[in-house]
Amino acid sequence: MSTSTTTSTTGQRGRSAARPAGRTPASSLDVDALIDDPKTRIVVCCGSGGVGKTTTAAAIGLRAAERGRKVVVLTIDPARRLAQSMGLTELDNTPRIVKGVSGPGELQAMMLDMKRTFDEVVLAHTDPERAKAIMENPFYQSLSAGFAGTQEYMAMEKLGQLRAADRWDLIVVDTPPSRSALDFLDAPNRLGSFLDGKLIRMLTAPAKVGGRSAMKFLNVGVGLLTGTLGKIFGAQLLTDIQTFVGAMDSMFGGFRERADRTYQLLKAPGTAFLVVAAPERDALREAAYFVDRLAADTMPLAGLVLNRVHSTGAPQLTAERAQAAAEALEENGSQNGSTAGSPSGTQGDASNASPTAPPNASPNASVAASVAAETLAAGLLRLHAERMQIMDRERRTRDRFVSVYPDVPIVEVGALAGDVHDLEGLREIGERLGGRR
Amino acid sequence: MASTPGPPDQHDPDWEGVRLHVVTGKGGTGKTSVAAALALALAADGGRTLLIEVEGRQGIAELFGIAALPYEERKVATVSRAQLGLPGGSRATGEIFALAIDTEQALLEYLDMFYKLGRAGKALQKVGFVDFATTIAPGVRDVLLTGKACEAARRKGPDGRRAYDAIVMDAPPTGRITRFLNVNSEVAGLARFGPIHGQAQAVMRVLKSPETAVHLVTVLEEMPVQETVDGVADLSEAGLPVGGVLVNMVRPPLLDAAALAAVDGDHREEVAVALGAVGLGGRSRTAATVRAAVEPLLDPLLDQAREHAERVELERAQRIDLQQLRLPTYELPLLGEGVDLAGLYRLAGELKQQGAA
């Protein structure tokens, strides 16, 4: 596991010392204050794919639990090992207690099962017989199996359910990795306008007695339209759709109400959105889109989590100096390789250092070691130069974001060498999120 | 590297005969850039390629530094072998067209093409059918997107020749790709006869034919590699033609194997001496002060090297996992400043040289 080695680097210096200069956002994001506040009931993590969104949600959940909250984490499509790190082995749509959480709180986690969630909604709103008819409808089966869009609806539906159950005092939600980023925000409205729409009345009209009156407002004859739809879908599919819509008719009101309630829940005090990104151009461009979109819907943005930020313990050594020193060392190295002499330049240092060589080393071995040490030192310096360049690039990328969004609080989370496989890894990320390292 | 390495132009491209290249990849792996580079590479010998974007993000426009693309096939670049740094060959100039598919317009076009709806089409729009179909109805979006790509792949000009030599689709991410491509099977099952059924079946025939290849973009990290492995399994199971693996953002190793091994040993003092020797301890004359001055550098530098060693080891493990897929594999370098137009041509050159195009 990678956390141990990176811990030592990150642990040795203050963040400010390691990332000098650059624009500073109005404030840094205080994740601990957010999750410690009992008024915070829902944290929604959103962001483009591949920025560590699910990991961030899980780490925040764990940290909140270990700081005393009763937490449930809703993940959408976690990587297998991340799911395993929380003891999630099956996708059963039920929150399970995560073992190994220390401290006073409690952590439960679950993976979203779209189809089951959809089934639950149907069951909740209709009698068993009708529910059965709906679930057997091929159109429904295909819809609930999760085409683009269903995941977004169902994630929000599940959030509503978890909130209504009122068994947890904090719900952390991961969002689907759709490029159509905030689709879930549109879901309730879209569903609403569809359900209020003319199409649905038209589809249900032929199946209903008294449907004629519903069609009066249309400029076009019902015959023409249903005829057209039949032409497009084929008569059999149109019948399936009409049966489906007819069977769902009784529960549309409920659907709509639920969607509205979830939307309001997202806007309510107690909800906080975290936009997750990495310090790369594309990811931050997406993040900017999220920030704008949340603002447009007056959704409460808590701040930006910037994952995978690089840092160094030796910021005083610039890339240029490190590069130059590495070149000098390599020159020395190639000379020494032929003459087997001691390093040129500071003779005194070399002789001074030789006693520290392993006592059992033969003279030849120690010569070889000094050559190897120069090669090694040169390599270290090149690595450092690369690190400084990466940091510089990340800082510029971040600064561009900050100059457009100076009011968005930011927390930076150091890069890990590998992926998270266990609770310890999540805890480590949690500590970085909390700014305790 | 290509599975069959050889000097450029000494071997045929690996995907001879493939007309539709579907490029997928986990978010954050640079899928769009790789798709664009592949489109350039495929046109380098004087062809015409169409680069299709399906997720409404205008990533292509962003890459080529042009204004947002309308729903219309537009020429976005030209390419020649010389521009890709490749020797010899023809002097022909290839053309790259791009299309950002707008699902609403694609639906109207589709309805018009197949049903000649006229007034009824307008009526459908009025009652919200278009909204319904493109946002809520299951799979319609995906049907339209895959349908459009297949249409372009099969389209012929007035002279009877293919309109494009190759189509490159910047497709949805790996986690969704099989369902996305397979949507027409599902639709064909839903609409058991009728025009939709026929259209869905026709699209599936193209997608499952040897004229299509689904390439997977990854980086050498655990999650993306795992998704790639899973994605290949899903695609194969669905009977979809798996293409190659494109390993993106590969970083050159900065420490050689010996140095990596040495990081683990205790070479603190020797490194301190070496750093002092090139003046990193300042101008001080005494060994002790030089030693003291380099001290704060030692732990950070060694820690960074340990992280690097760990990453190299991790990347090695990922490469082994990818090799076990036994697919043609190509490696593209990490471009420090992100991918700009110049970077795109560089990646295209790499792809061409490695035989991907």
Report yes or no: B264 and B307 within 8 Å, Cβ to Cβ.
Answer: no
Place of tokens 């050594």: A317
Q: Tell me which of B125 and B50 has the higher pLDDT.
A: B50
**3 state DSSP class of A42:** strand
Ramachandran angles phi, psi of A213, nearest 5°: -65, -35
A190-246 confidence digits (pLDDT tens): 666 666 666 666 666 654 444 444 444 444 455 666 677 777 667 777 777 777 777
Report yes or no: B291 and B275 within 8 Å, Cβ to Cβ.
Answer: no
Does B127 contact A at CB distance below 8 Å?
yes
Ramachandran angles phi, psi of A276, nearest 5°: -105, 135
Sign of CA dihedral A413, A414, A417, A420: negative
Q: Which residue of B has its CA nearest to A143?
A: B138
Does B272 contact A at CB distance below 8 Å?
yes
- Joined tokens for residue A18: 């390691």
Least confident of A1-15, A132-146, A370-384, B133-147: A1-15
Distance CA B67, CA B85 (A): 27
The confidence score (pLDDT) of residue A358 equals 41
**Which residues in chain B have Cβ-Cβ distances shorter than 8 Å to A8?**
299, 303
- The percentage of chain A sitting over the pLDDT mark of 70, rounded to a whole number, equals 69
Confidence of residue A435 (pLDDT cuts 50, 70, 90): confident
The confidence score (pLDDT) of residue B30 equals 92
Ramachandran angles phi, psi of A30, nearest 5°: -95, 90
- Strands annotated E in A22-169: 42-46, 70-75, 96-97, 106-111
**Which residues in chain A have Cβ-Cβ distances shorter than 8 Å to B302?**
380
Q: Tell me which of A315 and A183 has the higher pLDDT.
A: A315
- What is the crossing angle of helices B268-277 and B287-323, to 10°? 110
H and E: helices and strands count for chain A: 19, 8
Distance CA A268, CA A42 (A): 10
The confidence score (pLDDT) of residue B97 equals 97
Pairwise CB contact (< 8 Å): A5 & B287: no
CB pairs under 8 A between A and B: 289
The confidence score (pLDDT) of residue B310 equals 87
A128-160 confidence digits (pLDDT tens): 888 888 888 877 877 776 555 677 778 888 898
Pairwise CB contact (< 8 Å): A377 & B271: yes
**Which residues in chain B have Cβ-Cβ distances shorter than 8 Å to A283?**
28
- Domain ranges, ordered by start, for chain A: 3-184+251-313+399-433, 319-343+363-397
Instruction: Identify the H or E element spanning B108.
Output: helix B103-115
Q: Tell me which of B2 and B176 has the higher pLDDT.
A: B176
Does B193 contact A at CB distance below 8 Å?
yes
B165-204 confidence digits (pLDDT tens): 999 999 998 988 998 898 888 877 777 777 778 888 899 9
Distance CA B124, CA B308 (A): 59
The confidence score (pLDDT) of residue A56 equals 95
Task: State yes or no: pLDDT of B137 exceeds 90.
Answer: no
CA distances from A127 to A158, A203, A239, B100 (A): 21, 22, 22, 45
Q: What is the mean pLDDT of chain A?
A: 77
- CA nearest A148: which of B27, B182, B129? B182
ipTM of this model? 0.83
Shortest Cα distance from B303 to chain A (angstroms)? Answer: 6
Task: State yes or no: pLDDT of A431 exceeds 80.
Answer: yes
The confidence score (pLDDT) of residue B16 equals 92
Does B120 contact A at CB distance below 8 Å?
yes
Q: What is the edge-to-edge ordering of all strands in the sheet holding B212-218?
A: B74-79, B94-100, B48-53, B166-170, B20-25, B212-218, B242-250, B329-333
Report yes or no: B260 and B230 within 8 Å, Cβ to Cβ.
Answer: no
Output the DSSP codes for B304-330: HHHHHHHHHHHHHHHHHHHHTT---EE
- CA nearest A222: which of A237, A241, A203? A203
Pairwise CB contact (< 8 Å): A352 & B189: no
Pairwise CB contact (< 8 Å): A384 & B304: yes
Place of tokens 């278009």: B130
Least confident of A304-318, B39-53, B246-260: B246-260
Task: State yes or no: pLDDT of A257 exceeds 90.
Answer: no
Distance CA B172, CA A15 (A): 37
Region B76-94: what's the mean pLDDT? 88
The confidence score (pLDDT) of residue A239 equals 78
Region A316-335: what's the mean pLDDT? 89
- CA nearest A33: which of A59, A64, A70, A77? A64
Residue A250 makes CB contacts below 8 A (sequence gap 6+) with A125, A126, A130
Task: State yes or no: pLDDT of A284 exceeds 60.
Answer: yes
**3 state DSSP class of A102:** coil
Confidence of residue B135 (pLDDT cuts 50, 70, 90): low
- Domain ranges, ordered by start, for chain B: 20-251+334-353, 257-311
Residue A213 makes CB contacts below 8 A (sequence gap 6+) with none
Report yes or no: A349 and B276 within 8 Å, Cβ to Cβ.
Answer: yes
CA distances from A326 to A59, A320, A331, B159, B270 (A): 39, 10, 9, 62, 15
A102: number of Cβ within 10 Å: 10
Which residues are registered as beta bridge partners of A46?
A: A275
Distance CA A222, CA B127 (A): 11
Shortest Cα distance from B160 to chain A (angstroms)? Answer: 30
Distance CA A377, CA A356 (A): 17
The confidence score (pLDDT) of residue B127 equals 67
CATH superfamily of the domain spanning A3-184+251-313+399-433: P-loop containing nucleotide triphosphate hydrolases (3.40.50.300)
Least confident of A91-95, A250-254, B308-312: A250-254
Distance CA B318, CA B233 (A): 17
Confidence of residue A100 (pLDDT cuts 50, 70, 90): very high
CA distances from B274 to A1, A307, A325, B223 (A): 31, 35, 10, 39
Q: Tell me which of B284 and B32 has the higher pLDDT.
A: B32
Sign of CA dihedral B221, B222, B226, B227: negative
Amino acid identity at B65: G
C-alpha of A278 from chain center: 10
The segment with the largest mean pLDDT, out of A35-49, A206-220, B54-68, B243-257, is: A35-49
Which residues are registered as beta bridge partners of B167?
A: B20, B50
- The percentage of chain B sitting over the pLDDT mark of 70, rounded to a whole number, equals 89
Does B258 contact A at CB distance below 8 Å?
yes
B108-121 confidence digits (pLDDT tens): 887 776 666 666 66
B17-60 confidence digits (pLDDT tens): 999 999 999 988 999 999 999 999 999 999 999 999 997 778 89
Confidence of residue B96 (pLDDT cuts 50, 70, 90): very high
Does B280 contact A at CB distance below 8 Å?
yes
Degrees (nearest 5) of the Cα angle A3, B335, A383?
Answer: 45
Place of tokens 């410690």: A36
- CA nearest A230: which of B113, B119, B193? B193
CATH number of B20-251+334-353: 3.40.50.300
Q: Which long-range contacts (CB under 8 A, 24 or more apart) does B334-342 make?
A: B334/B248, B334/B249, B334/B250, B334/B251, B335/B249, B336/A389, B336/A393, B337/A393, B338/A280, B338/A281, B338/A282, B339/B30, B339/B33, B339/B63, B340/B65, B341/B63, B341/B64, B341/B65
Residue A320 burial (10 A CB sphere; 0-12, 13-18, 19+): exposed
Q: What is the mean pLDDT of chain B?
A: 87
Pairwise CB contact (< 8 Å): A220 & B120: yes
Task: State yes or no: pLDDT of A341 exceeds 60.
Answer: no
Residue B109 burial (10 A CB sphere; 0-12, 13-18, 19+): middle
Which of B195, B274, B296 lies closest to A377 in CB terms? B274
**Which residues in chain A have Cβ-Cβ distances shorter than 8 Å to B338?**
280-282
Output the DSSP codes for A170-206: EEEEE----SSTTHHHHHHHHHHHHHHSHHHHHHHGG
The confidence score (pLDDT) of residue A361 equals 41
Distance CA A176, CA A152 (A): 6
Q: Which residue of B has its CA nearest to A346?
A: B277
The confidence score (pLDDT) of residue A15 equals 38
Ramachandran angles phi, psi of A97, nearest 5°: -70, 135
Residue B198 makes CB contacts below 8 A (sequence gap 6+) with none
Distance CA B179, CA B143 (A): 11
